[in-house]
Amino acid sequence: LMLEETVLPVGAGQWLAVLGLGLMPVGAAFYAWDIGVKRGNIQVLGAASYAAPLLSTLVLIAAGFAEPSLRVLAACVLITGGAALAAKSLFLRKRAAGEAGA
């Protein structure tokens, strides 16, 4: 950060955009994350967080701002694999609880 030049918004439109990002999508995301950490299952939240880049990429493709490619497919597979690996203990715990109850 010491070697980077600080760039501040210029004009009311840019300041309004910064304020809008802070209050709406980014602010809502931080608020939802805070609630999830405090009241939810942190392992599920961590595994579900892998979906954010996947969903944003799929939205960009659906909106026509990005094109589907083999790289995107590979990224989707790797992200899904990472989420499954992160949630592995959740799947094993459910299976073990189901077998113990039977």
How do residues 54-70 score in pLDDT, each as one tens digit?
A: 889 999 999 999 999 99
How many domains would you assign to the chain?
2
Question: 55 and 63 in contact (C-beta within 8 Å)?
Answer: no
Query: What is the residue type of 41?
Result: N
Distance CA 87, CA 96 (A): 14
Residues 57 and 92 in one domain: yes
Q: Is residue 6 part of a domain?
A: no
pTM across the whole model: 0.58
Find the mean pLDDT for residues 78-82.
Answer: 89
Q: What is the pLDDT of residue 100?
A: 62
Q: What is the pLDDT of residue 37?
A: 92
Q: 81 or 87, which is more confident?
A: 81
Find the mean pLDDT for residues 88-92.
Answer: 76
Question: 89 and 43 in contact (C-beta within 8 Å)?
Answer: yes
Q: 46 or 101, which is more confident?
A: 46
- Say yes or no to pLDDT of 80 above 70: yes
Find the mean pLDDT for residues 8-20.
Answer: 94
Residues 16 and 54 in one domain: no
Residues 53 and 33 in one domain: no
**Residue 15 sits in which domain range?**
11-40
Residues 93 and 47 in one domain: yes
